């Protein structure tokens, strides 16, 4: 039995569906981003390189003391814009390269490849490749393999669960700044915000995978 059975409303030209949708819900958005094109904190990345050559400091100095704007990669600039965060916060470049390689992969119930994937298979693959964890296959099983994580303790790699069609029926991977990556039925692999009305109203909670433990 496979999870992810809901369809999130999307905008249409005839007005029958939702009249608005977040820009982050469109995979096409990423195709328009390059390291030298869009702005970061009001400047293009090339302008930033000219004017801000010193090492970034607070509030992340303890975690990224050697990061400089010159060392930022295209992936970091690209997803800093999508995530609405400082470039230096995206230090796990393997994670964002993985997301980039799967971006826009269409949703397919039971699918496990880049030809089509469902939410739990995408999460299972990401967690295995990036974090070396061995999650079970379905969203419900994945939730049962986690310990509860409160909203204010969420960390990159935690799982976020939703009730989209009865019980635990959708799952994604938390990133940062309230954003999570998932395989959506409406747009395939994308990044969404937990504060988005659709996801906020269906949010069941978050979990952190711990072998041999279970979410109560």
pLDDT one digit per residue (tens) for the chain, 216 residues: 545 654 454 444 444 444 444 444 555 555 555 444 444 445 544 444 444 444 333 444 444 445 566 667 999 999 999 999 999 899 999 999 999 999 999 999 999 999 999 999 999 999 999 999 999 999 999 999 999 999 999 999 999 999 999 899 999 999 999 999 999 999 999 999 999 999 999 999 999 998 654 443
Do 80 and 43 belong to one domain? yes
Q: 51, 64, 146, 182: which is the annotated catalytic residue? A: 182
- Its pTM stands at 0.70
Q: Considering only the C-alpha atoms of the chain, give the largest distance between any 2 of them, rounded to a whole number of Å.
A: 54
166 and 129 co-located in one domain: yes
Q: Give the integer Cα–Cα distance in Å for 111 and 114.
A: 8
Q: Tell me, yes or no, if 4 is annotated catalytic.
A: no
Output the pLDDT for position 19: 41
Q: Are residues 67 and 155 in the same domain?
A: no
Residues 92, 90: Cα–Cα separation, whole Å: 6
Q: Where are the alpha helices (DSSP H) in 21-158?
A: 28-31, 45-51, 74-83, 93-102, 119-131, 139-144
* Catalytic one of 4, 51, 64, 119: 119
Which range of residues forms the domain containing residue 79? 29-91
Cα separation values, 70 from 17, 58, 81, 108, 148, Å: 44, 18, 17, 40, 39
Residue 33 has a pLDDT of 56
Residue 10: inside a domain, yes or no? no
Query: Do 156 and 62 belong together in one domain?
Result: no
Say if residue 80 is in the same domain as residue 119: no
Report how many domains make up the chain: 2
Which phi-psi region, left, alpha or beta, contains residue 116 (left: φ > 0; alpha: ψ -120 to 50)? Answer: left
- Is position 194 within any domain? yes
| Sign for the pseudo-dihedral over CA of 75, 78, 83, 86 | positive
> Based on the domain organization, do 117 and 70 belong to the same domain?
no
- 87 with 113, same domain? no
Residue 109 sits in the same domain as residue 53: no
In this structure, the answer to whether residues 84 and 111 fall within a common structural domain is no
Catalytic residue among 4, 51, 146, 170: 170
83 and 114 co-located in one domain: no
Check residue 125 and give its pLDDT: 98
pLDDT score for 16: 47
Catalytic annotation present for 200: no
Q: Does a structural domain hold residue 1?
A: no
């Amino acid at each position: 039995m496979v999870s992810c059975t809901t369809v999130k409303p999307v905008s249409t030209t005839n007005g029958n569906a939702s009249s608005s949708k977040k820009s982050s819900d469109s995979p096409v958005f990423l195709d328009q981003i390059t390291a030298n094109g869009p702005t970061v904190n009001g400047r293009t990345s090339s302008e930033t390189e000219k004017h801000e050559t010193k090492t970034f400091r607070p509030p992340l100095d303890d975690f990224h003391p050697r990061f400089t704007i010159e060392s930022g990669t295209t992936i970091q600039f690209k997803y800093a814009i999508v995530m609405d965060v400082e470039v230096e916060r995206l230090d796990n470049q393997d994670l964002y390269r993985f997301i980039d390689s799967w971006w826009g992969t269409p949703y397919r119930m039971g699918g496990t490849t880049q030809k089509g994937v469902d939410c739990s298979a995408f999460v299972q693959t990401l967690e295995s490749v990036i974090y070396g964890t061995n999650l079970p296959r379905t969203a419900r099983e994945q939730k049962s393999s986690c310990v509860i994580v409160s909203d204010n303790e969420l960390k990159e790699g935690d799982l976020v669960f939703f009730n989209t069609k009865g019980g635990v029926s959708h799952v994604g991977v938390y990133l940062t700044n309230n954003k999570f990556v998932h395989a959506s039925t409406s747009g395939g692999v994308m990044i969404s915000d937990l504060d988005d009305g659709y996801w906020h109203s269906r949010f069941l909670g978050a979990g952190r995978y711990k072998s041999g433990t279970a979410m109560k």
